[in-house]
Structure 1
Amino acid sequence: MRRVGSALLGRRARRRWIHLVLGGALAMPYVFVGSILSGPLFGDDRFFGSFSAQLLAFALGLPLAAITALFPLTRPMSVAAVRALCGVPDEALADGPPRTRQERGRTVTWFTLHLGFGGIISGMTLGLVPFASFQLVLPLTVGVWDSWLGLPDHLRTSWTLAVAPVSGTVCLLLLAGCAAGCGELLARWAPRLLGPTPADRLAAAEQRAADLAVRNRLARELHDSVGHALSAVTLQASAARRVLDHDPEFVREALAAIEDTTRRTVGELDAVLGVLREGDQRASTAPAPTLAADLDGLLRRTRAGGLRVKAAVALGPGGADALPPMVSREAYRIVQEA
């Protein structure tokens, strides 16, 4: 019973009901235009004549709504309303105006369905809620209504007064069920009609892959530069502390190496943070160490920590400058990690 009550009058059902009423409100200008077009057919120049004239005005208004749904901002506004009121996940809906004919056609279909269902539910709400409320309070206020309106005899019988609350309750449940059903249908159709196309999903997946590649590269750069620098500084400081009393020249060289390492690391860290701030624009232009420019400094700083290092570099006639930048950078990182 609780599940049924939540499905009919729960928070999600109420928000979807509001979404339908919003569609009915959007349909009103088109219904007004439709009533002007349908008036001569029924010999009635009023906005709202007979029930048949109202149905015809509604039927004539929906094609007009479909035409105006070609306006580019229709899909963004519809998506915003669906996200706020229908409980549809954000990733199931597309952003921005439609770009292809297929997307425009789906937007037109959605807008027409929203206004169609919204107009029906809004009309039922305006008609059934007062009628059901009157039936619910009729047994308690029959004297008041009789004095005001002069109720007919069949509304004052005991049988009518006993059935009226039941009939009013059934009307309200019927209205809530129709609103919940229409809201559920629109919520299920929204991803199909307002969601991204396969091309959009592919583009989003490619963008996520590119972002992931940039993040992985940044993480690797931070590990290779900052991690190595901290390890080298730790070793150099430890070595300097051990020989502080009897080898001041070594301590001086170790402190100079620490200064050089930290200064260089701050520059690399600033470059990596710049990529994070500015995105992919600087991902390909951020400075990176190479064999030609940075190998000698790496060996010098390592030797300053007390480690004996011998280097034999054989790169062919062109030397380190002939290596492709990516190969030179990765070779430097391998030596650094070793």
Structure 2
Amino acid sequence: GRGMPGGEGMGTGMRAGAGLVLGARARLRWVHLILGGALLMPYFLLAQVVVGVWSGRGNVFGSTALTLASYGLSLPLVAATAVFGLVRPLSAGAVRALCGVPDGRLAEGPARSWAARGRTSAWWTLHLGVGAVLSGMSLAVPPMAVVLIALPFVSGLRTAEWGTGWFGTGASPYVAPLLGIGLLGGLALCSAGAGALLARMAPVLLGPTAADRLAEAEERAADLAVRNRLARELHDAVGHALSAVTLQAVAARRVLDSDPGFVREALAAIEDTTRRTVGELDAVLGLLRDADPARADAAPAPTLAADLDGLLARTRAAGTTVTAHQDPGPAGNWEQLPAIASREAYRIVQEALSNALRHGTGPVELRIAVRAAEAGTPRELEITMTNPPGPAAGPQPRTTGGRGLRGAAERATLLGGRVEAGPYRGQWRLRAVLPLGGGSR
């Protein structure tokens, strides 16, 4: 009874070893090697022609030396063709499917640098070179092993011309089956070892280089920047609209019986706000579905020149007094602003008014002015909004998350500007400064 645990451990070890040599993964890696051998054949046939012309012999298969020379000449041809970028994704795909290498350890996409192409060339040569050797063994060893295993039982095999040799000199034919089984076992071991070697080398030669990691990080950063911009657009458009519509509806309800004219204006403002917001929401959701950065940059967006007056009118329709001071500079209008500055400035003003509607308790004063360029400084667009602060924060946490002010700061930062928000002389003030260029150096 005491010997059973050791016996069970030995049996488990034998099963594990057999799984490594004959298991499903080992068989898939053998298929991967056979594919490598098949891919080498065009190179080998071309090299065979060259060697045949050089040696003066039309058929090099009759000479082991010329066959090996053709094989050796085919490998530089393999290495040369592997510099094409698409070889790496094809190889990586085959490795994932057949060698059991996880995705994260292999590079995505074509090789971008010469260092990556060199590593891919080394992998391509290794795969096809080792695969060709194993393919030859897989073609030659099984028939030979079958003959050896059947030799004691089929007399015709022992008397055949090609069978007279070692076994025709008095050696026992009953040794032949052991040799045949040994050949099959050796083939399985060679296949498992070669497959394991390629699986180990794949992350080294097909793994991402520093250039690949940098390019991937840049792609992720670009995608994140686009998504952040769309998130800001969605937050600013929908958040402002909901705040404005809520306050307009509340104001209209309070004077429903006493001031029908104001109610009509409020309902018209609600209709206009919701219609515009539905259009902006549909545009942003369309861009999110397409995930196209070029379309995101070209998407229409409100600007100071075209939409500021409407924004102020809708805010006033909610019952909030808004005093606006506009100084576009010598141009006399906002149409002379750079398009991106006009667009981002509109969103910053919109967010400032949204905060005033949600958290303020009194009239709003808004100043938008273009500062002339001075020595060493560019022209700047300055936005300042002040209003009385709301009541002190209660025990309930704030539900807006501060995303609006953070989004306004991100908009300004993208243009090289800045946003400041906080208490100022008993008021709440938001101040944004956006460079416009045109300064003297």
**Bucket of the pairwise TM-score, normalised by the shorter protein:** 0.7 to 0.9
The equivalent residue for 2:351 is 333
- Measured against aligned partners, the alpha-carbon deviations of 1:145-188 in whole angstroms (never above 9, x if no partner) come to 22465376959x99754x65554444333322322222232233
- Deviation, structure 1 residue 260: 0.4
- Deviation, structure 1 residue 94: 4.2
The equivalent residue for 1:190 is 202
TM-score (norm 2): 0.62
The equivalent residue for 1:281 is 294
The equivalent residue for 2:133 is 120
2: CA distance between counterparts of 1:109 and 1:314? 69
2: CA distance between counterparts of 1:120 and 1:297? 77
1:258 is aligned to 2:267: no
1:15 is aligned to 2:24: no
The equivalent residue for 1:221 is 233
- Deviation, structure 1 residue 59: 2.0
2: CA distance between counterparts of 1:135 and 1:44? 34
- Deviation, structure 1 residue 62: 2.0
- Deviation, structure 1 residue 230: 3.4
2: CA distance between counterparts of 1:7 and 1:234? 68
- Measured against aligned partners, the alpha-carbon deviations of 1:71-121 in whole angstroms (never above 9, x if no partner) come to 56544543443344333444522423x555434433332222122101111
- Mark the CA change 1:27 to 1:295 in structure 2 (over 3 Å): closer, same or farther: closer
Q: Is the 8 A contact 1:275 1:281 kept in 2?
A: no
Amino acid corresponding to residue 172 of structure 1 in structure 2? L
**What percent of counterpart residues are identical?**
56
3-state SS in 1 of match to 2:323: coil
TM-score (norm 1): 0.78
- Mark the CA change 1:272 to 1:41 in structure 2 (over 3 Å): closer, same or farther: closer
- Deviation, structure 1 residue 54: 3.0
From 107, 129, 148, give the equivalent of 1:93: 107
1:203-242 mapped onto 2 (5 Å cutoff)? 203-237=215-249, 240=252
Amino acid corresponding to residue 21 of structure 1 in structure 2? I
3-state SS in 2 of match to 1:283: helix
Q: Is the 8 A contact 1:79 1:95 kept in 2?
A: no
- Mark the CA change 1:275 to 1:142 in structure 2 (over 3 Å): closer, same or farther: same
Greater Cα offset, 63-72 or 23-32: 63-72
Between Structure 1 and Structure 2, the one with more strand by share is: 2
- Measured against aligned partners, the alpha-carbon deviations of 1:162-221 in whole angstroms (never above 9, x if no partner) come to x65554444333322322222232233334434443223212211210110110111121
3-state SS in 2 of match to 1:188: helix
Q: Is the 8 A contact 1:288 1:329 kept in 2?
A: no
1: CA distance between counterparts of 2:328 and 2:138? 87
- Mark the CA change 1:11 to 1:237 in structure 2 (over 3 Å): closer, same or farther: farther
Amino acid corresponding to residue 57 of structure 1 in structure 2? S
Amino acid corresponding to residue 155 of structure 2 in structure 1? D
Give the gaps of 5 or more residues in structure 1: none
Between Structure 1 and Structure 2, the one with more helix by share is: 1
- Deviation, structure 1 residue 264: 1.0
- Deviation, structure 1 residue 38: 5.0
1:146 is aligned to 2:155: yes
1:60 is aligned to 2:73: yes
Amino acid corresponding to residue 224 of structure 2 in structure 1? L
- Mark the CA change 1:234 to 1:304 in structure 2 (over 3 Å): closer, same or farther: same
3-state SS in 2 of match to 1:288: coil
Aligned Cα root-mean-square deviation (Å): 3.8
The equivalent residue for 2:282 is 270
Q: Which has the higher contact order (CA 8 A, sep 6+)?
A: 1
Q: Is the 8 A contact 1:83 1:89 kept in 2?
A: yes
Amino acid corresponding to residue 107 of structure 1 in structure 2? T
- Deviation, structure 1 residue 240: 4.9
Q: Is the 8 A contact 2:249 2:267 kept in 1?
A: yes
The equivalent residue for 1:312 is 323
Q: Is the 8 A contact 1:226 1:265 kept in 2?
A: yes
3-state SS in 2 of match to 1:312: strand
The equivalent residue for 1:107 is 120
Greater Cα offset, 235-244 or 54-63: 235-244
3-state SS in 2 of match to 1:95: coil
From 121, 143, 147, give the equivalent of 1:130: 143
- Deviation, structure 1 residue 122: 0.8
3-state SS in 1 of match to 2:292: helix
Q: Is the 8 A contact 1:74 1:107 kept in 2?
A: yes
The equivalent residue for 1:201 is 213
3-state SS in 2 of match to 1:334: helix
Amino acid corresponding to residue 64 of structure 1 in structure 2? L
